[in-house]
Structure formats: structure tokens, C-alpha cells
Chains A and B, each alone.
Chain A
Amino acid sequence: GAVVSQHPSRVICKSGTSVKIECRSLDFQATTMFWYRQFPKQSLMLMATSNEGSKATYEQGVEKDKFLINHASLTLSTLTVTSAHPEDSSFYICSARSRRRGTEAFFGQGTRLTVV
């Protein structure tokens, strides 16, 4: 299967600072990338969908100015949590799809963000 690499796997930051999470498709071109957030013992909740070269589409209730998504190339998308607060602490997961690889979505290993 295709490989999606997410970095960092864990990050601790101080309240008020910004954190950038990278999501890379290593062996395929990801025409669409998705960002999910997962709180403990809960399911994955979609935050936003991004297509290469265009603005991300955010789900209702997700602040686009707080969660900045950039999908500048076919192999890289970044999620920046700006002015992080403790309530932003969560597990963030990206996934990527490629038209050439059909419907299947490939997931990164996730990033555990802790805001102190």
C-alpha cells in the first residue's frame, strides 16, 4: 500500500504558540488530503479537505484562521495550529487520496499534540 508520513508524531507546546504538522505522501501524488482530529475514546472527526493548489474546505465549526492548512504540492500538506490552547490538545491525523489509486485513503500515523 501507499505510505503517508506524518511529522512530528508527538509535540508539546506552550499555550499561545503555533505548531506545524506535516503530512507527506511518500510514493504517490496525493491530489486530495484530509485532516482529522480525534479526542480520547472518540472517533475521527474531519476538520478539512484540501486539494493541491487550492484553498482548503473546512468543516462546520472548524476555525480556518486557527487551523491553517497548506497543500502546496502533490506530496505535502501542512496543518498549523495557531495560538494553541490546552483545548486544542488532541490527536491529529492526515490522510491522502490519489485519483490514480482509486478510492482508498491512506492514513498517516498521527500527531499527538499537547498544549501546556
Chain B
Amino acid sequence: GESVGLHLPTLSVQEGDNSIINCAYSNSASDYFIWYKQESGKGPQFIIDIRSNMDKRQGQRVTVLLNKTVKHLSLQIAATQPGDSAVYFCAENISDSGYALNFGKGTSLLVTP
């Protein structure tokens, strides 16, 4: 299930199930979006990105969906594994602007055996 409170929202899934992590972004001018995975005590690790001229992009076991109409981004992880347990952040940017990435609040994914 998913819970939202003062801490990071947490999504618990069973090993082997698919995971869907959602993110809402704020800047309608953003045209580049990235999903990062962050393990405890480490820097963000790039997972997958998508530009605003696309609405879907697939990688290995991961798919990112972009809905610009409602400014919504999702990350789907197929056949979730224990090693996928981490905090996932979406980030938005105006490409080639030199601006920094703007990070979303993050979702903690917990994969149970």
C-alpha cells in the first residue's frame, strides 16, 4: 500500500510484482524529465529519462510515462526485486537552460520477499 505523511511516501510491493511510482511536476515549461534511484547514504543514480516530445520510454525493466496535460510522470518497474528497494525521485528541467534539476519529494520503495 501507499502512505503519505510527514515522511517520504512509502510503496510496499512483493518481490516479482510490478511497481508504479508517481510524480507530479509543477513547471509547464519543463521539457526534460528524469527518474533517479537513491540508496541510503549514496548520491542519486540515473534510471531513465524522457523528453516532452514523447509520452513513453522503455528501458530494461523500467518504463516512464509522461502526461503533459496533467503534468504527471510515472515510473513502472517490472518484476520488482529486493535490489530495487530505495528512494525514487523524479526531476524536471528546462533542457539547455543551464538550470539545475528540480527534484520531487521522493517515494520510498520497499520490496518484500
Number of A-B residue pairs having CB atoms within 8 Å of each other in the complex: 57
User: Of B34, B43, B96, B103, which contacts A6 at CB under 8 A?
Assistant: B43
**Which single residue of chain B is at the shortest CB-CB distance from A47?**
B100
Interface size class of chain B, counting residues whose CB lies under 8 Å from the partner chain: 20 to 34
B103 in complex: contacting residue of A44, A51, A108, CB < 8 Å: A44
Query: A32 — nearest CB in chain B belongs to which residue?
Result: B98
Q: Is the CB of A95 within 8 A of B103?
A: no
* A111 (CB) vs chain B CBs: closest residue: B43
Determine if A104 is an interface residue (Cβ-Cβ < 8 Å).
Answer: yes
**A102–B36 alpha-carbon span in the complex (Å):** 17
Establish whether residues B105 and A103, one from each chain, have CB atoms under 8 Å apart when the complex forms: no
Chain A residues 61-83 with CB under 8 Å of chain B are none
Q: Which residues of B contact A (CB under 8 A)?
A: 7-8, 32, 34, 36, 41-46, 49, 89, 93, 95-96, 98-106
Nearest first, the 4 closest Cβ-Cβ pairs linking A and B are A107-B43, A103-B95, A34-B100, A110-B43
